[in-house]
C-alpha cells in the first residue's frame, strides 16, 4: 500500500503478480492487487436495463471487494501517477476499466495509465512501464457484451429449469452447447449397432524379420478390407493356401513430419489433459502461477508468457533464443535453415498476443527444485513444445508393398524413423512398424494365414481434451471460457467422468432435452460460433456492442416467451406419476428431482410434504425406536441417517452406526456429515464425548501400538489402513488376516 506522498502506484489483479512486480519496480512504486474484478452486475437482480436506447448495465461494487476498493482509493489519492496492469485480455481490460472508473474522481485522466504485461520479467516489465497505453474501450465493450449475453441467458433461462425441474440448476450460452455435444454423443453411442466383419491377414518372413500384410482386393478388383460373410472369408483362405505369394510392387519414400506449433491455450489444456491427466481448470491455475512469478532462489520471475491466447506467433527475439538453444544443446543438424512461422486461425484479435512460451527459456531440470511437481510438469510441456517448434522435421522411411496370390492382393506398409528431428527435443518415441526391403517378383515365405473377426466400434465419448478440441474447431467459446465451462458442467451435476471420458448424467440429459429443442437458435452450434465472431468484431471496432446485443435479444426473446408458456407441459413431461397413494394424505405419489437426485414426493406439495428416497435401503436388524417398524437409510441436508419406513408420519430417526465402540467412553461411533457434505465419524454421546475420526473405523487393534481401532482410508483409487493414534499405515493384505 502506498504510504509515501509522490510514489507511483501500480494496480494489478493478483497478489502473486503484485509480489513479483514489486521486486522489479523498486521503492518508487507501490504495487497492490484488486484480487480480480471489483465491480460486476448485481448478484440478486438482472441488472441490465433493456429499452429503445439499448442495454444499460448497472454495475455495483462487489460486496467482498469493498475493503479492497477503499484500499485502492486511499493508495490512488497518495500516488503521483497510477498504472493499471491487469491481464492483457478482455477480462483484464474490464478490470482496468472498473478500477479507472472508481479512481477517476480522485485523479485526473492523464494521471491514469494502462500497462500491458505479456510476460513478467524485469526487462519486459520496465519496457511496459515506459510505454503505457490507454484503456482499450473496444476490448472492454467486447467483454461487456459477453457479460450481458451470459447474464441474459443465465438469468432468464435458469429460472425455467427451477420451475420445471428443481432449484440450483443453470443454463449458459456456451455451457449448454458444450453439454449438448456430450449428450448427443452419448445418444449416438446408445443408438450404435455393431456389425461383425472379417479381415484376412498373412504373416511373412524375410531374413528372420516378420511382417504382416492385409488382404485388400479380389481378382475382380472388389475391396476386401471388411468382409461381411465369414464363409466367404474362409473360401478365400482355401484358395490362398494353394498358391505362392509374390511381390507385385514395392516402393520406398521419405515422409517428413513437421513439429507442432507452440502452445496456445486450447492445445495446452488438451495436452495437459491427455499427457498429465490434468483437468483444464487445474492446468490454467498452474499456468497462472508460472506466468505471475515463481521464486527461483531469491529472485521472483514469471516463467511463461501470458497463458490465455489463441496465437501461434513467437517474437523474433524469442526465436533467436530458441535457435541458439537448439544449436548449442542439441546440435546444428537439428536447426532448419530458416526460422519457422505459424499462422493462427481466426481474426487478428486472436493473434494479438504471442503463443505460450518460456520467458527466459530456463532449462526445466535446472529450476526443478524451485517448482512444485505440477508447475514443473506444465513448464516442461511448454518448454519442450516451444523449443521443438523451431527444430527440423523428423524424417520417416516409408515402405509399401503389394503382394499377390491367385489374383488376390495384400498390402503391407511399414514406417521407420530415419532422422529424429524435433523428437530429440520433445523426448517422444514415435510408433514404428518396420518391414524388410522387398524386390518385385520375389516369392515370400508364408508363416501364418488367418481370418480375424472384428466389430465396428461406436464413436468414443469426449474426454476433456477432445471436447475442447471440438469446441475450438467449431469456434464455440474462447480460451478463457473452456476451463470454467467444463468445471460448471461437473459442479451442476450434468456430467460425470467414467475413466477419462465425459458421460452425461440423467440430470444433464434432462436439462439438454428441455433447453435445446425450445431454444433451437440460441443453443445452435452455428449461432453460438457466430456470436463469438461478432464479439471479435466488437473488439476490433467493426461492430457496436449494442447492435450485437440487439440482434441476439430479438431472437432470444421470441424463443424465451414460447418456452415460458410451455412450463406446464415441461413439468408434465418430466413428472412420473406412480400407482401409489401418499400415506399422509392419500393423493398420488410422483417422482421429482431434488438436490440429491430423484426422490418420491406427494403430488400435493407444498400442502403435503411427504417424501422418501426413490430406492429405500432397509437396514437389517434396525427397528424404529418409536414404533418398532423397519428402518431405512435416508439422505438429508447433513448426510445419511436412519429413518422409520413410515417417516415423516413416524418421526423415528437415528444416526447410522459403524458397529465400532468409542475408545474414550464406550458409546457407538456413528456416521456424520458436515455442512459441506463431507463424511466423518463421531461418538454418539456428543457433546459430552467429543471423539471424532476423519475416516471409517474398523474394529481391529493396531498391530503397532495396540490402539483399539484403526481407520479405513481411501484416496481416489488408493486404499489402506491407518492407526489414528500412532499414525502407522498398513496395507489391506496386512489387515486382512486380522479382520
Q: Which residues is 119 bridged to in the sheet?
A: none
Enumerate helices (H) and strands (E) in the chain, giving the number of each: 19, 34
Query: Three cell numbers at 617?
Result: 435401503
Angle at 159 between CA 153 and CA 165, to 5 degrees: 120
Q: Which cell numbers hold the place of 580? A: 401409489
Euclidean distance between CA atoms 126 and 24, whole angstroms: 8
Q: Which of 361, 408, 56, 12 is nearest to 221 (CA)?
A: 408
Residue 106, Cβ neighbours under 10 Å: how many?
17
312 within 8 A of 319, measured Cβ to Cβ: no
User: For residues 257 and 634, what is the distance between their CA atoms, to the nearest angstrom?
Assistant: 59
CA 505 from chain center: how many Å?
17
Catalytic residue check, 263: no
For the chain, give percent helix, strand, coil, nearest 5: 35, 25, 35
Phi-psi sector, 440: left (phi>0), alpha (psi -120 to 50), beta:
beta
* Burial annotation 443-454 (CB, 10 A radius, 16+ → b, else e): ebebeebeeeee
Terminal C-alpha separation, the chain:
61
Cell of 401: 508393398
Nearest alpha-carbon partner for 96 in 73, 119, 112, 80: 112
Sheet holding 8-12, edge to edge: 29-33, 8-12, 82-84, 112-114
**Are the beta carbons of 289 and 16 closer than 8 angstroms?**
yes
Residue of 59, 278, 291, 306 marked catalytic = 306
Provide the grid cell at 191.
443408438
**Hey, what's the cell of 88?**
492483457
* Beta-carbon contacts of residue 714 (< 8 Å; ≥ 6 apart): 695
Smallest CA-to-CA distance from 296 within 20, 25, 26, 29 is with 20
Q: What DSSP state is assigned to residue 274?
A: I
C-alpha cell at 459: 464413436
> What's the half-sphere exposure (Cβ side, CA atoms, 13 Å) at 395?
9
Tell whether omega for the bond before 648 is within 30 degrees of 0, i.e. cis. yes
Coil/strand/helix, residue 590: strand
Q: Which residues are catalytic?
A: 306
Amino acid at each position: 500500500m502506498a504510504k509515501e506522498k509522490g510514489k507511483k502506484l501500480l494496480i494489478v489483479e493478483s497478489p502473486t503478480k503484485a509480489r513479483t512486480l514489486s521486486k522489479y519496480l523498486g521503492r518508487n512504486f507501490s504495487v497492490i492487487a484488486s484480487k480480480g474484478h471489483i465491480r460486476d452486475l448485481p448478484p440478486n437482480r438482472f441488472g441490465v436495463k433493456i429499452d429503445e436506447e439499448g442495454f444499460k448495465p448497472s454495475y455495483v461494487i462487489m460486496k467482498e471487494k469493498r475493503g479492497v476498493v477503499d484500499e485502492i482509493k486511499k493508495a490512488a489519492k497518495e500516488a503521483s501517477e497510477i498504472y493499471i496492469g491487469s491481464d492483457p485480455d478482455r477480462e483484464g481490460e474490464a478490470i482496468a476499466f472498473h478500477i479507472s472508473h472508481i479512481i477517476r474522481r480522485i485523479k485526473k485522466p492523464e494521471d491514469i495509465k494502462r500497462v500491458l504485461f505479456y510476460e513478467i520479467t524485469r526487462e519486459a516489465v520496465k519496457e511496459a512501464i515506459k510505454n503505457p497505453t490507454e484503456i482499450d474501450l473496444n476490448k472492454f465493450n467486447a467483454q461487456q457484451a459477453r457479460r450481458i449475453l451470459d447474464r441474459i441467458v443465465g438469468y432468464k433461462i435458469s429460472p425455467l429449469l427451477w420451475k420445471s425441474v428443481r432449484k440450483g440448476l443453470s443454463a449458459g450460452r456456451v455451457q449448454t452447447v458444450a453439454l449438448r455435444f456430450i449428450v448427443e454423443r452419448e445418444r449416438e453411442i446408445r443408438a450404435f449397432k455393431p456389425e461383425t466383419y472379417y479381415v484376412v491377414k498373412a504373416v511373412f518372413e524375410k531374413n528372420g524379420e516378420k511382417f504382416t500384410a492385409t488382404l485388400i482386393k479380389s481378382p475382380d478388383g472388389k475391396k476386401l478390407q471388411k468382409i461381411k460373410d465369414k464363409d466367404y472369408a474362409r473360401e478365400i483362405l482355401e484358395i490362398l493356401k494353394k498358391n505362392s505369394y509374390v511381390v507385385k510392387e514395392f516402393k520406398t519414400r521419405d515422409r517428413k513430419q513437421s513439429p507442432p506449433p507452440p502452445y496456445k491455450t486450447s492445445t495446452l489444456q488438451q495436452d495437459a489433459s491427455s499427457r498429465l491427466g490434468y483437468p483444464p481448470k487445474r492446468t490454467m491455475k498452474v499456468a497462472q502461477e508460472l506466468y505471475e512469478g515463481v521464486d527461483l532462489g531469491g529472485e521472483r520471475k514469471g516463467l511463461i508468457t501470458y497463458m490465455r491466447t489463441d496465437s501461434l506467433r513467437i517474437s523474433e527475439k524469442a526465436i533467436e533464443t530458441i535457435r541458439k538453444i537448439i544449436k548449442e544443446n542439441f546440435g546444428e543438424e537439428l536447426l532448419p535453415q530458416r526460422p519457422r512461422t505459424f499462422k493462427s486461425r481466426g481474426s487478428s484479435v486472436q493473434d494479438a498476443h504471442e503463443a505460450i512460451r518460456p520467458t527466459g527459456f530456463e532449462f526445466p531440470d535446472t529450476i526443478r527444485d524451485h517448482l512444485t511437481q505440477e508447475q514443473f510438469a506444465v513448464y516442461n510441456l511448454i518448454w519442450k513444445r516451444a523449443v521443438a517448434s523451431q527444430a527440423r522435421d523428423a524424417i520417416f522411411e516409408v515402405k509399401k508393398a503389394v503382394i499377390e496370390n491367385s489374383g488376390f492382393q495384400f498390402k503391407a506398409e511399414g514406417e521407420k524413423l530415419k532422422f529424429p528431428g524435433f523428437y530429440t527435443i520433445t523426448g517422444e518415441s514415435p510408433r514404428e512398424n518396420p518391414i524388410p526391403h522387398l524386390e518385385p517378383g520375389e516369392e515370400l515365405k508364408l508363416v501364418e494365414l488367418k481370418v480375424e473377426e472384428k466389430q465396428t466400434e461406436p464413436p468414443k465419448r469426449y474426454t476433456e481434451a477432445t471436447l475442447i478440441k471440438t469446441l475450438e474447431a467449431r469456434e464455440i467459446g474462447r480460451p478463457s471460457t473452456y476451463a470454467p465451462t467444463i468445471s460448471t458442467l461437473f459442479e451442476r451435476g450434468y456430467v460425470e467422468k467414467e475413466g477419462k471420458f465425459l458421460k452425461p448424467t440423467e440430470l444433464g440429459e434432462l436439462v439438454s432435452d428441455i433447453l435445446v429443442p425450445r431454444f433451437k437458435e440460441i443453443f445452435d452450434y452455428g449461432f453460438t460460433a457466430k456470436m463469438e465472431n461478432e464479439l471479435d468484431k466488437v473488439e476490433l471496432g467493426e461492430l457496436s456492442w449494442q447492435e450485437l446485443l440487439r440482434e441476439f435479444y430479438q431472437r432470444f426473446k421470441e424463443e424465451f416467451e414460447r418456452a415460458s408458456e410451455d412450463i406446464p407441459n415441461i413439468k408434465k413431461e418430466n413428472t412420473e406419476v406412480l400407482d401409489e397413494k401418499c400415506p399422509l394424505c392419500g393423493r398420488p405419489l410422483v417422482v421429482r428431482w431434488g438436490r440429491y437426485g430423484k426422490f418420491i414426493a406427494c403430488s400435493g406439495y407444498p400442502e403435503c410434504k411427504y417424501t422418501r428416497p426413490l430406492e429405500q435401503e432397509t437396514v437389517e436388524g434396525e427397528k424404529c425406536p418409536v414404533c418398532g417398524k423397519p428402518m431405512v437409510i435416508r439422505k438429508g441436508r447433513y448426510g445419511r441417517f436412519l429413518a422409520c419406513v413410515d417417516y415423516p408420519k413416524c418421526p423415528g430417526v437415528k444416526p447410522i452406526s459403524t458397529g465400532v465402540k468409542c475408545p474414550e467412553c464406550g458409546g457407538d461411533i456413528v456416521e456424520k456429515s458436515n455442512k459441506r457434505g463431507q463424511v466423518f465419524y463421531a461418538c454418539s454421546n456428543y457433546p459430552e464425548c467429543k471423539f471424532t475420526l476423519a475416516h471409517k473405523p474398523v474394529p481391529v487393534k493396531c498391530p503397532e501400538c495396540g490402539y483399539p481401532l484403526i481407520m479405513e482410508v481411501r484416496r481416489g483409487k488408493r486404499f489402506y489402513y491407518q492407526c489414528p493414534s500412532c499414525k502407522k499405515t498398513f496395507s489391506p493384505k496386512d489387515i486382512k488376516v486380522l479382520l
